[in-house]
A and B are shown apart, each in its own frame.
Chain A
Amino acid sequence: MTDSRPVLTMTGISKSFPGVRALHNVDFRLFPGEVHALMGENGAGKSTLIKVLTGVYGIDEGTITLGEEQVAFNGPMQASAAGVSTVYQEVNLCPNLSVAENIFIGREPRRFGAVRWGEVRRRARQLLARLDLDIDVTAPVASYSLAVQQMVAIARAIDVQARVLILDEPTSSLDAGEVEQLFRIMRQLRDEGIAILFVTHFLDQVYGMADRITVLRNGTLVGEYPTAELPQLALVEKMIGKELDVLEGIEEHSRRDLAALEGGTPFMEVSQLGRKGAVAPFSLTIHAGEVVGLAGLLGSGRTEVARLFFGADRADRGEVAVSGKPGGLRNPVQAIERGIGFCSENRRAEGIIPDLTVRENMILAMQASRGWLRPIPRRRQDELVEQYIKALSIRPANPDVPVRNLSGGNQQKVLLARWLITEPRLLILDEPTRGIDVGAKAEIQKLVVQLSDGGMAVLFISAELEEVLRLSHKVAVMRDREMVAQLNNDDTVNADRVMQTIASGSQREEADK
């Protein structure tokens, strides 16, 4: 906002995919030295706009002007050479290459054609030092956590003499401390005159960082606003395009009496279940109609617990009983037979089958449990798919589009549908709302409440404490790969108390039994 001339102008941008109109006549401006938030629901076209800008996709219509000249990049490489660098929502690094190699891939410093590896490592260390990250730059990227990988991606982006830095959901896998660290870097870069395009679903972060906001909805431009002049509620309304009663509706859902639930027969009981190197032995009981929240920091073992519950990993100790019947969960097939469903947190690697259509992705689990010899009749498929596309308001509402053409949030809903179709008795949701906008988040939360009211047990995992507390009857707290407490979610439990438990780990409460 210091300069009156935009560094980047996009005018009348349109882009379609088969069966999906992703962007329609969108304008966008970016000034030097500002942080500009791009907001919108899932499928609003945020990621597409960024990919069009960096040349990942060609444009159907419209022009892009960088500085004084009109540009049309034919790939991210060319874009970053021109000063437009991107860090994508899903970390795009080569996991088998070292940190240093990843940072300099494609633009290694050379002498007589040979890569100067010493220089590569030295400069990588320097760059990471700027981000306050002290790690071994020769170790493969895969050996670090997602958060560190994200930082490496950012380091790569800022090393190029960037005029425009695009951060697409950079914070969705970072914890609070790391987010603060990232913001410090963002402010530093902004003060250096770099224009930062920032996409996030966390409203607090938008109001903490952004100078201006551009809102997209359904692939069209809603408007561009200075942050100070757009109250939070107004922003959300502009994103969703309707009054915000959804969110308030679930604020206080009638929490069923825990005692009544616990009085019923337990659906699943595990005792001293554990897996070496993944999670210490724990015991947990889930009753029909009960929502058990799993709270804890990133890497505290939440996902590991979920995977043991589903048989995705094999437990090396402990007992499991489902509906009173003991028996090991050796693989997902057995878990599904017992009425358990599992939405992985890692949508791309463990969830969607990108080539298959929305329909096929939805019916996959049901088909798998029927066996390949008994295909689901087409009419039944149509019924189911139509029902869930409507119930979860999946966009586009076309079952025959390849699922990779859908936005992240809609892919998440397709996965939810995949499991709901199997009518599970226990649904394990690992970070179902990560990287998802407010509207869809509220819908998913509401769904969890409905499902549990209908008698389904839910194991709900989320990094957002508020969400866990809002939905759960019981909260299990994870810390350092150990279940340190189980709290009945009554009036005495609040975010502070859970946070203290996470922090101290000393407050062991066996709510269950």
Chain B
Amino acid sequence: MNNAKDRYRTILGHRLFWPVAVLVVMLLANTIYRPGFLSIEVNNGHLYGTPIDILRLSAPLILVALGMTLVISTGGIDLSVGSTCAISGAIACLYISQAPDQNNLVTVFTALAMALGVALVLGAWNGVLVSVIGIQPIIATLILMVAGRGLAQLVAEGQIITINSGPFRAIGLGHFLTLPLAIFIALGAALLVAALTRRTALGMIVESVGGNREASRLAGIRSARIVFLVYVVSAACAAVAGFMMTANVSSADGNNTGLWVELDAILAVVIGGTSLAGGRFYLSGSILGALIIQTLTTTVYAMNISPQTALLFKAVVVIAVCLIQAPAFRAKFRRRGRGTPPPATPSPQQQKQEVPA
């Protein structure tokens, strides 16, 4: 029993080892380049510093990645999350901008509830397209990805809605217990999704549907319902991320809010170890992936890499991370590097690593 638990821990450690290593290397590189990188100062009772910024800025991506993890686990993909961010942000801002008192808590919460409600409808739309009508997820969500930008424009009537609401702004920039509020929101969402999937049987059922949909159906799982559900969850996560993004700048821009966040989220999920083919998912991995991507973005700015080469730089790092993680690539590298047959009796540890996942 204890043995099994230990082994479980070793595997778990092993799975997250490379993403953590990459994150540490990036932080180290930054610190060497700019020794003050890791320093944190207290100002006005709040903590400030680059690490805190990274955490705060990665919060929306973490949220989107959480929902994306579940969708990808069922073998699907949700390209529409960026548009959902824009729509929910626009609706919330529009409602607040038209209210007599923008600082009224009731107003802000009504705005959030309305926007969240619309996001759930959008998620349900994706869910129906994929699970009931049976359109391939990439196409089904592409519809909303494209149309959603138009919807957000429509809501804002082509304008950038600027608001001046303290409570709303707090979602992105507020503090709680010396740390940015956004971090707590992301953490809360992560714990909620984790509890929803791992404290109930939902996680296993989602993995089962992603691993073999027909077999799951024959085992009595209502596969279509589960698939529907994950798209709704994904949209809800995207909506909250949309609130943060718009709160950060106190304005909603239908064109740019959450632009390309779907790609970063997919990347975060993949870096975290969840297969795009569906099956097993790892929430902690996705969160780590989101942190890696945000650290990378911050690094690009911190190192004064020119914007022209920034995207290329990001791409190179991401490719490296993915390759390092791929067991097949590592095995190949090892074989070439050693040039000799493997040792006569590989330790259990090594065997574990060498078998492709």
Contact = CB atoms under 8 A, between A and B. Distances in A.
Interface of A: 16-18, 58, 60-61, 310, 312, 331-333, 336, 342, 344, 349-356, 360, 364-365, 367-376, 400, 418
Nearest to B199: A375
A368 B205 contact: yes
Contacts of A367: 201, 204-205
Nearest to B275: A355
Interface stretch (B108-116, B217-225, B303-311): B217-225
Contact of A365 (B219, B222, B346, B354): B219
Interface in B260-315: 279-280
Contacts of B220: 332-333, 336, 365, 368-369
A61 B344 contact: yes
Interface string B204-226: 11011001101111111110000
A333 to B, nearest CB: 5
B218 A312 contact: yes
Contact of A375 (B200, B217, B352): B200
A166 to B, nearest CB: 22
Given A61-B344, A372-B202, A332 B218 contact: yes
Nearest to B8: A400
B4 interface: yes
B208 A360 contact: yes
Contacts of A400: 4, 8
Q: How big is the B interface, by class? A: 20 to 34
Interface majority SS on B: helix, strand, loop or mixed?
helix
Nearest to B212: A353
A260 B352 CA distance: 56
Contacts of B204: 356, 360, 364, 367
Contacts of A350: 212, 214-215, 218
Contacts of A371: 201
A75 to B, nearest CB: 11
Nearest to A60: B346
A373 B200 contact: yes
A355 B4 contact: no
A364 B208 contact: yes
Given A367-B205, A372-B200, A376-B201, 17 more contacts: A16-B351, A17-B351, A18-B351, A336-B220, A342-B218, A344-B218, A351-B218, A352-B212, A353-B208, A353-B216, A355-B280, A356-B207, A364-B216, A364-B221, A368-B220, A374-B201, A418-B219
Contact of A18 (B201, B222, B344, B355): B355
B230 to A, nearest CB: 12
A355 B351 contact: no
A494 B246 CA distance: 78
Contacts of A364: 204, 208, 216, 219, 221
A322 to B, nearest CB: 15
A333 B225 CA distance: 12
Contacts of B217: 331-332
A444 B14 CA distance: 39
Nearest to B1: A382
Contacts of A342: 218
A25 to B, nearest CB: 11
Given A61-B344, A336-B220, A368-B220, A352 B207 contact: no
Contacts of A344: 215, 218
14 contacts: A331-B217, A332-B219, A332-B220, A333-B220, A333-B222, A349-B214, A353-B216, A354-B211, A355-B279, A356-B204, A360-B208, A365-B219, A370-B201, A375-B200
Nearest to B213: A353
B342 interface: yes
A360 B8 CA distance: 15
A95 to B, nearest CB: 14
B217 to A, nearest CB: 6
Nearest to A367: B201
